[in-house]
Chain A
C-alpha cells in the first residue's frame, strides 16, 4: 500500500492534528475565498480535485476501515461511504478503496467481467488516470492494484498486489434475512444455520447447490462472507491468495478484507462437496483449458463459441503462440490440456466434476 502523502501541499498538513487539518483543508476545488462555486470551479486547474479524487481526511477514514477489515478477516466494517461521481452500484465502493490505497507509483488495472475493455472498466480506469495520474495497464502481471467486478484474474496473484473487488450486496445473508439489525446479530453469534438450510434446500429441490456465483465462503474459520458476484469458479483463487484482497461496497457502506494466505472455505456438505464449473471445451481463441469462459452467440441458429472471460489471460496466451479453433488450432494444442485452475486451490476444492456441456451444435 503506497502512501499518497507525497502529493504537493499535503506533507505539512499530515502532521497536524485532525481538527486543525479539517479547518485548514484546502485541497480540491474550493480553496478560494467566497466567490460563487461556479466561478471557483471555472478557473481551477483542469482536474481540480485532490490526488485520486477523495480528500485526505476521507482517505484516512477509509484506510482505518481497511485496517480494521484486515484485522478481522471477512468481517464487514461500516464506513462513511462518500458520494462518488459515478452511480452507486457501479463500483463506488471499489473506487473508494482504490482511491484510499493508491499512490503515485502504483500501476492500476481495472476489469469488469474479466475484461479490460468493458465500458465500466474503461470508465473507472480513466477516472484514476485523470484524477491520480497513475500508470494503467491491462497486464495482470504488471499491475500493483487490480480493481475488479465479478472475476478474479486467471493468472496467480503476487504478494505485492492488491485485488479490489466491487461489491453490490456485501451481506451474504441478505436474501435470507433482509434486516441489517438481524444479520449483524447472526454474524456476531456466528449463527449461519440459515445459510446451511438454504444450501440443503437447494440440494433437496434440485439435486445440486443452486448457487453459481456469489457463492458463500467462510473466512479464517469465523465469518461467512460474500465473495461478491464472482462465479464460484473463482472461489478457490480467493483461498490462500498471496495478494491482499479488499472488498468495497459503496452504497451499502461496508468494507471487508481477506488478508494474504487466509483460509477461505466455500460452504458445502460432506456428501455434497464444493465443486467448480468446468468447461468441456477450450477457449476458441487461445485454446486455454481450466479457465472461465464466456459464451458468445454467433448467429440465430444456435451457433456459439466459448472464449476466455479474462481478456488479458487470453491475449497473453495468443501472443505466446497458442491458437484456438477459431484461429486454426495448432496440432500442439491437442495435447496440452493440463492448465491448472489457478492459484491457491486446496485439494478438496479442486474437484471439478461439473462439466459445462456445450450443446453439440455449438461446436463451430
Chain B
C-alpha cells in the first residue's frame, strides 16, 4: 500500500519526547542547574547574550541548557524570545571611558595612564589539560588591591588629542541610530547598522573574515589600540522625568583598532579606527568585529574594494548565524515536488540524448555499409 514518508503529528511528538530524554542524559548524573551554567560556563553565556542581542544571563543559561550546549541553537532561542519584547525606548550611549575596568590592555603603548590590567584571561596560559580540574580541586581566591581611582582614558582619546587618529563623527540628533531588527535593511548601509549587524553576527564568521583581511584579502594594517573589559552603567531617560536614571550595569568588551591610512592631498595623514563592542567577555569577537568594521569602511576612505571583508552586502547578508543555520538546515525539509520536476527534466533530456546518439550511430553504420 501507500508507504510515502509522511511525518504525522505523533511522530513529531515522539521525536520531541525523545529529544527531552536525550537532553537530560544519564539520570544517575545530577541535573545541571541554570545557576551552574550562568556561573561556570560564563563565556558561553556571554556569547549567547551577545549574538542573541539580549542581556539576560539567566535566560541565556536556560537557553544553553535547553539547546544541549549548542550555542547557535541557544542564540536562536534567545532571539525568538527577544522579538516578543516591547520597546520602552533607547538608553543613552554607554560611556566606556567610565568603565569599571577588569581588564585593559594596549598593544600600541608599553605603559599608559591607568596601566595595563591583564584581568581574567586565557592568554599566556599553557594549553595543557588540567586533570586536577576533573577532580574538582578548590581554587585559590584572587589577589586583590584597592582601586587607585586613577582615570583610564581610552587610547584612541590619547591619540585623538594630537589629531593622530580620525575623530569620531559627532552624533547627529536629526538622524537617530538605526535598528536593523525594526527597519528593513537597504544597501548601502551606514556604519551604525553595520556595527549592529557585526555585534549580532556570528563569531566564527567574523573571525574568519578578520583573518582573511590579515592574510591580504583587504589588508587594513591593524594595531590593537586597546581592549577593555568591565562594567558600564546603562542609563535611560524616561519621558516623564526628563533626566537620565541608571538602570543597572552590564559587562562589555570594547576593542579599538588603530589602522593605517595614508591621508590625501587635502587631509594630513591620520590613523583610522575600527570599532568593536560586545556584551560580556568576548575578546575574539570584539577584535574580529573591529577589524571587519574597518575593512567595511573601504568605500569611505576611497580604498579599492576587492575582498569579501570589504563588501558590506556580502558581510551583512551572511553574518547572522540564526539566518544562516535556518536556511542551510531547511534543506532537510521535503523537496520532493521540486525534485520530481527536475527528475522529469533530466529523464527527458537523457532520453533525447540517447535518441540523438542512436540516430548518429545508425547514420555511421549506413555510411559504412555504403
Contacts and interface: CB of A to CB of B under 8 A. Distances in A.
B59 A37 contact: yes
Interface string B1-27: 111101111011000000000000000
A207 B352 CA distance: 9
A213 B7 contact: no
Contacts of B86: 22, 25-28, 30, 55
Nearest to A229: B338
Interface string A74-104: 0000111111110111101000000000000
Contact of B333 (A112, A117, A207): A112
A28 B84 contact: yes
A294 B8 contact: no
Nearest to B62: A38
Contacts of A115: 6
Contacts of B84: 28-30, 49-50, 53, 55
A37 B337 CA distance: 43
A292 interface: yes
Contacts of B85: 28, 30
A251 B335 contact: no
B82 interface: yes
B364 interface: no
B335 A357 contact: no
Given A115-B6, A277-B341, A294-B336, A83 B351 contact: no
B150 to A, nearest CB: 35
A339 interface: no
A37 B56 contact: yes
Interface in B297-349: 313, 317, 322-323, 325-330, 333-338, 340-345, 347-349
A22 B90 CA distance: 12
A352 interface: no
A301 interface: no
Contacts of A118: 6-7, 334
Interface stretch (A119-127, A216-224, A258-266, A342-350): A119-127
A36 B62 CA distance: 13
Contacts of B80: 83-85
Contacts of B328: 89
Contacts of A80: 181-184
Contacts of A22: 86-87
B345 A117 contact: no
B346 to A, nearest CB: 9
Contacts of A230: 337
**Residue from B186, B239, B337, B349 with most neighbouring chain A CB atoms (10 Å):** B337
Contacts of A117: 6-9
Nearest to B54: A37
Most B C-beta atoms less than 10 A away, residue of A27, A53, A118, A326: A118
A359 B350 CA distance: 12
B212 to A, nearest CB: 18
Contacts of A298: 3
A212 B337 contact: no
A260 B255 CA distance: 54
A263 to B, nearest CB: 24
Given A78-B184, A83-B83, A122-B9, A181 B330 contact: no
Contacts of B181: 80, 82-83
A53 B80 CA distance: 11
A307 B6 CA distance: 13
A290 to B, nearest CB: 15
Size range of the chain A interface in the assembly: 35 or more
A89 B327 contact: yes
B343 A295 contact: yes
Contacts of B349: 206-208, 210
B338 A296 contact: no
A331 to B, nearest CB: 22
A89 B330 contact: yes
A251 B326 contact: yes
B330 A294 contact: no
Contact of A326 (B2, B11, B337): B2
A354 interface: yes
B198 to A, nearest CB: 18
B208 interface: no
Nearest to A309: B337
B348 A357 contact: yes
Interface string A124-157: 0010000000000000000000000111000000
B1 A326 contact: yes
Contacts of A232: 341
A181 B313 contact: yes
Nearest to A209: B345
Contacts of A78: 184-186
B327 A357 contact: no
B76 interface: yes
Nearest to A277: B344
A213 B336 CA distance: 11
29 contacts: A23-B88, A29-B84, A36-B58, A49-B84, A78-B185, A80-B182, A83-B76, A83-B83, A87-B326, A87-B330, A112-B333, A112-B334, A117-B8, A118-B6, A150-B337, A151-B337, A168-B330, A207-B352, A208-B349, A213-B341, A229-B338, A231-B340, A231-B341, A294-B340, A295-B336, A305-B2, A326-B2, A357-B347, A357-B348
Give 5 nearest A-B pairs by CB, closest first. Answer: A88-B326, A119-B7, A89-B330, A78-B184, A87-B326
